[in-house]
Amino acid sequence: MSSKLEQLQDLLAPVVESLGYECWGLEFISQGRHSLLRIYIDHANGILVEDCEKVSRQISGVLDVEDPISSEYTLEVSSPGMDRPLFTLEHFAKHVGEQVKIKLRSPFEGRRNFQGLLRGVEEQDVVVLVDDHEFLLPIDQIDKANVIPRFD
User: What CATH number did the domain enclosing 105 receive?
Assistant: 2.30.30.100
Please check whether residues 73 and 96 belong to one and the same domain: no
73 is in which domain, residue-wise?
3-78
Please check whether residues 70 and 36 belong to one and the same domain: yes
Euclidean distance between CA atoms 143 and 69, whole angstroms = 21
Please check whether residues 66 and 126 belong to one and the same domain: no
Residue 140 lies in a domain: yes
pLDDT at 71: 83
How many domains in the chain? 2
> Which residues in 12-39 are b (16+ Cβ under 10 Å) and which e?
bbebbeebebebbbbbbeeeeeebebeb
Euclidean distance between CA atoms 131 and 44, whole angstroms = 34
| Nearest alpha carbon to residue 132 among 119, 144, 142, 122 | 119
What is this structure's pTM? 0.88
Percent of the chain with pLDDT over 90: 84
Boundary of a domain, candidates 78, 103, 127: 78
Percent of the chain with pLDDT over 70: 99
Please check whether residues 105 and 62 belong to one and the same domain: no
Please check whether residues 18 and 71 belong to one and the same domain: yes
Please check whether residues 71 and 19 belong to one and the same domain: yes
